[in-house]
A and B are shown apart, each in its own frame.
Chain A
């Protein structure tokens, strides 16, 4: 059973461009979570989604950031008009049910904004 997959693993964008980060959950998992890790810091919760629904977006910045988890295909975290402060590692986790016990993390996407 393949684990949580994220791509790309590394992404370089210039200021003002858009970044799209993809997350394919583990097979059979319908709950997806996104976290951001700034350099030398812990992970910060951003958003929790189920198929076609955003359940909790309390950690998402109010502007430029959006997330979706369509009926078919991976979950997408989209950052519009990136700025240097968006440079971070973005981790996706998935679980078969709601809750923290069974969140399985992907390897992360490291975004660098130049």
Chain B
């Protein structure tokens, strides 16, 4: 285990539903990330939080809404999604801070299917 947990592991939702993905890290890190992994496409960075402040929003549609209440928890709130949003959503964390890249530790992901 990497020390990054994600729930639920699988989620099926209709286009009119509202759901949330949860990520928790037990590594004492200060940066957390949401990625989208679709078949035959590179991992796409969606959001970055560094010390609870959002530092990156990679042109993500507003139907995805992140929340980072503290350095250990990260949520991704979903509403009125489209079938093309079906993918594996990965959370990652790293030591964070300025200047230096730190190794990113990934969770197992949430497999999302939008009907």
Partners in one complex: no
Query: Which residues of A line the B interface, CB within 8 A?
Result: none
Query: Which residues of B line the A interface, CB within 8 A?
Result: none
